[in-house]
Amino acid sequence: MATEKPDTLHGRILDEFSRKIVDGTWPPGYLLPKETELAAQYGVSRMTMNKVLTRLASDGFVIRRKRSGTVVAQPRAESAVLAINNIGEEVAALGRRYKWALLSSENRAGHAQDRRLLSLNEDEAQDNSLFLQGLHYSNDEPFCLETRVINTQMVPDALTVNFQHDVPGSWLLNTMPWTRARHHVRAINVSGRDATLLELPVGAACLEVLRRTQIDAHWVTCARLLYPGEAHQLIAEFDGKIGV
Amino acid sequence: MATEKPDTLHGRILDEFSRKIVDGTWPPGYLLPKETELAAQYGVSRMTMNKVLTRLASDGFVIRRKRSGTVVAQPRAESAVLAINNIGEEVAALGRRYKWALLSSENRAGHAQDRRLLSLNEDEAQDNSLFLQGLHYSNDEPFCLETRVINTQMVPDALTVNFQHDVPGSWLLNTMPWTRARHHVRAINVSGRDATLLELPVGAACLEVLRRTQIDAHWVTCARLLYPGEAHQLIAEFDGKIGV
DNA sequence: TAGTGGTCTAGACCACTCC
DNA sequence: GAGTGGTCTAGACCACTAG
């Protein structure tokens, strides 16, 4: 799934197609030309084009249906690999009432403290940054403290959204095309303002998830999600051998 | 990567081959017959058999080299998806001295406490279980507390190993063929014996990783790895959309 | 330098599905 | 019923590499 050798016919075409999907040139729902047509356009046999489309489908980028053709898939919010759900869905799945409360929203470069929190480089916290902080509730109890910065150069629409009503994560999920994310997970003893906001005693164990999301090479958003320790559990499942 | 529809020629063959690799019928290093031969054996065209072998290779099950043929790959300890390294390697990567100390080893059903810790069912802690507890050190400081149960029915050799010298995780990694694992990760405030062993003050945040490993449908080992909070960090990277 | 996998083609038949 | 993807074949040429 990482960089591959693109020096084959179908490899180059696969690269081109997946790039078009990832960067939004072919948005979700876009209907691709039919197999034979694409094969003719690219001057390859149908078998070769089929290899490309079959791979795209098995990677989840497109949905193929007989008769109706091949369409770009709707990006899914979940992965079979690591279930870090949309927080709203997560709370709902527990049968609880979900609520989101925006605590602060700030254009420009944000507090130095927030930049450190999100491990941002200097050039990643420029003028085109939107800093947000808010709380996810489960049955009116704090469930997750979110601190986030959004690159408004990549997602200019974010400036027009009222994040008191729209949950940033969900909004981004629905707005952006395909993404790539990197997570850092660790345990910390909560303190200070974080503890106050989460209504936890100082020192309570919390799960800190730092998530950096990007489209192609450009970062889009960084989020720090702080979950009261035992309340939250990450689940990951693997094939192949990872560790014992 | 999960269960798929096997109702194609290459699908059925792919299933058969991957099963043979996973269950050890074709052990790591096993040299497969050459493509044309396999195609003849199964009465399919070379293209079809190529599809099978190419897929096996892209899934990492086999290594294909021109001239030398197709061999079953050595299971790798790491995955590109979620880097939870072999603990020894992890410590070594930090440039520190690694040491393993076995604290206890017990045949039979183990303490009820340990069974709870590992979330084992009744039938998963029978007579054919080996309970272990030990500490991984980094520069003589506790780095990870490991509590583990091994299904000796699946891995009978485990009874003959001296786990004072062999690190259970590494030994299993090298002994078993391919595996599937499920991880549960959360943050806890350490206390009691765990705190003492890790030389941490009561209440320090720790990252608890529960890892259940299986071969096909049979569980092989369950491990609870307890890392002093900020010392350890899980890193996970994804393609596609997971959450924002 | 010969054998292996890597790739591609042209053509074929089938099954499903939407109109 | 017609068009689409799903699959398979037989044959071909190439590149790499081990001996």
> For chain A, what is the mean pLDDT?
80
> For chain B, what is the mean pLDDT?
81
Region B77-81 average pLDDT: 39
CA distance B181 to B194: 24
CA distance B89 to B81: 17
Comparing A126 with B149, the larger pLDDT belongs to B149
Comparing B106 with B193, the larger pLDDT belongs to B193
Question: Closest Cα of chain B to A188: distance in Å?
Answer: 5
Contact at CB, A186 and B84, closer than 8 angstroms: no
- Which pLDDT score is estimated for B53? 92
Contact at CB, A178 and B240, closer than 8 angstroms: yes
DSSP A123: G
For B128-154, the pLDDT digits (tens) are: 788 999 999 988 999 899 999 998 888
Q: How far, rounded to the nearest angstrom, does the alpha carbon of residue B56 sit from its chain's CA centroid? A: 19
Residue A215 CA and nucleotide C4 C1' are separated, in Å, by: 40
Q: Which two tokens stand for residue B24?
A: 């050890």
Enumerate domains of chain A plus CATH numbers: 9-72 (1.10.10.10), 82-236 (3.40.1410.10)
Classified as helix, coil or strand, A74 is coil
Query: Strand C: which positions are within 7 A of a protein CB?
Result: 2-12, 15-18
Which residues are CB-neighbours of B217 under 8 A, at least 6 positions away?
A: none
Question: Closest Cα of chain A to B166: distance in Å?
Answer: 14
Per cent of chain A over pLDDT 70 is 78
- Which pLDDT score is estimated for A123? 61
pLDDT at B218 over 90: no
Which residues are CB-neighbours of A148 under 8 A, at least 6 positions away?
A: A118, A131, A132, A133, A168, A169, A221, A222, A223, A224
Question: Closest Cα of chain B to A195: distance in Å?
Answer: 14
Comparing B118 with B95, the larger pLDDT belongs to B95
The protein residue nearest C19 (Cα–C1') is: A67
Q: Which residues of chain B neighbour A84 with C-beta distances below 8 Å?
A: 242-243
Residue A10 CA and nucleotide D15 C1' are separated, in Å, by: 17
- Which pLDDT score is estimated for A240? 44
- Overall pTM > 0.85: no
CB contacts < 8 A (A, B): 212
pLDDT at A243 over 60: no
pLDDT at B80 over 50: no
pLDDT at B2 over 50: no
CA distance A33 to A74: 18
Q: Which of A6-10, A46-50, A90-94, B119-123 has the lowest mean pLDDT?
A: B119-123
Nucleotide nearest to A57 (CA to C1'): D5
CB less than 7 Å from strand C: which protein residues?
A 8-11, 43-48, 51, 65-68; B 32, 34-36, 46-47, 50, 53-54, 57, 64-67, 69-70
- Which pLDDT score is estimated for A125? 55
Q: What angle do CA A23, A25, A27 make, to 5 degrees?
A: 90
Hunting for tokens 């209907």 — which residue is that?
A: A31
CA distance B221 to B151: 6
Query: Strand D: which positions are within 7 A of a protein CB?
Result: 2-12, 15-19
